[in-house]
Amino acid sequence: MDKARIHRQNQNLVQTTGTTSRAEEVIARCKRVASFTEDPDGTRRTFLSPPMRDCHGEISRWMEPLGVHAQLDAAGNIRGIYPAAAPNARRLLIGSHLDTVPNAGAYDGVLGIVLAVALLEELHGRRFCFGIEVVGFSEEEGVRFGTPFIGSRALVGRLDQELLDARDAQGISVQKAIENFGLNPEKLPQAELENNTLGYLEFHVEQGPVLEKLNLPLAVVEAIAGQSRLEFTFRGRANHAGTTPMHLRCDAIAGAAEWIGAVERVAQRVPGLVATVGRISAKPGAANVIAGEAWLTLDLRHSSDEIRTRAVVDLIRQAEGIAARRGLSVRENTLFGQHAVAMDAFLNDEIERAILKTGCKPHRMVSGAGHDAMIMAEKVPSAMIFLRTPGGISHDPGESVAVEDIEKAIECGLHLLDQLAASPEFQRRINRA
């Protein structure tokens, strides 16, 4: 074996060992951040809660050795800029969110920020023709105020007064929460993206079982599904459970149950559609009383807004038909609507190439969950990379990620940055006014 080949093998060993160590450090950092919590017996971290200060301090310490000074914007997003090779260059944002659901796992959101820092560390001071801005969004889950994406909405200029006036369970408004954290709401316009922003990239655990079933570590997220959330109220007539014959009943919960079966059948026959009745309640709610009222929620998601809207119309029609046949009335109310968001086609292709370079088979998929990337895509080209979620478990302490998948994610990210630096299309985007 010649000396050059031995040298190449040794170099590969050093690189692999270094990446493995970095991947293990990524997991350790995610677990460290998970310890910053509002609850003593589980991870819960909401918008600008006290544990957020610990997160900000930790992330700042990671970035300081890289020459990156992290700062908070007026919405509580932590942001740090890794400079380009030349001053005043445009920059690519990489990040995710710092907040969690109650009783959360250690990786949802936070992993995307930790991986962004890990990529900068793996550059070892190397610079590109574009800068890299790491962003940790202050809020995505919507737990504290019932409204998601407060952090990313600030960057796209969608923190209006109505949202700022929203209140939490203690009666504290979003605006007051910002002030209580020592930030100035009047400076929110300064948080908005500058014209020099090239795009946004987000690494995220899949939060589902698809990649595990395919035995793949990474995927390109082609689009984020649109969502419709509605509530339905079936009304009949409450009556005695023992003395009312079955053919003389106007049972609201029986009508609701028939409709739930219809929801499942519609979703099963439409490829890509997912439909969930997540909550149901009945009145008067006694074991020996026929329900006079049944209230339910419906969550519908699909990558095609047309298909999703058509399914909503179909299920409303079926609810009305079931109600009429059973002597009931039904009323629906739309709670939330979010159109589907396609990720940037050029960035998708580059991510696919980067995944191939890691030796992995690329896979493209739609995200059924909402992410900050869908908000950022309103203003800048955006893309997402999914990491396999063992067991498909997320939003739970059992959430995990494999070291080898993190290794592939870091490798993919490094390839992607090199590809973008060499890409004529990305150069055109850099030079575009």
User: DSSP of 153-170, one letter per residue?
Assistant: HHHTT---HHHHT-B-TT
CATH top class, domain 3-225+340-431: alpha beta
Q: What is the pLDDT of residue 6?
A: 33
Residue 417 has pLDDT above 80, yes or no: yes
Q: What is the pLDDT of residue 18?
A: 55
Return the CATH number of the domain spanning residue range 227-338.
Answer: 3.30.70.360
* pTM for this predicted structure: 0.86
Residue 89 or 433, more confident: 89
Q: Sign (positive/negative) of CA torsion 347, 353, 355, 358?
A: negative
pLDDT digits (tens, 9 = 90+) for 154-170: 999 999 999 999 999 99
Burial label for 153, CB within 10 Å (0-12, 13-18, 19+), is buried
Q: What is the pLDDT of residue 19?
A: 60
Q: What is the pLDDT of residue 433?
A: 58
Lowest mean pLDDT among 1-10, 19-28, 35-44: 1-10
Q: What is the pLDDT of residue 14?
A: 34
Give the list of residues 6+ apart from residue 164 with CB closer than 8 angstroms, or none. 173, 174, 175, 178, 185
In this structure, the number of other CB atoms found within 10 A of the CB of residue 344 comes to 18
Output 367-371 pairs: Cβ under 8 A, ≥24 positions apart.
367/221, 367/223, 367/224, 367/225, 368/208, 368/225, 368/274, 368/301, 369/207, 369/208, 369/224, 370/148, 370/149, 370/224, 370/227, 370/338, 371/96, 371/140, 371/202, 371/204, 371/224
Q: What is the pLDDT of residue 337?
A: 87
pLDDT digits (tens, 9 = 90+) for 79-132: 999 999 999 999 999 999 999 999 999 999 999 999 999 999 999 999 999 999
> Whole-number mean pLDDT of the chain?
94
Which amino acid type is present at position 182?
A: G
Provide CATH 3.30.70.360 ranges for the chain.
227-338
Q: Could you tell me the pLDDT band of residue 217, with boundaries at 50, 70 and 90? A: very high
In this structure, the number of other CB atoms found within 10 A of the CB of residue 265 comes to 12
Give the list of residues 6+ apart from residue 264 with CB closer than 8 angstroms, or none. 275
Provide CATH 3.40.630.10 ranges for the chain.
3-225+340-431
Strand partners, 294: 234, 282
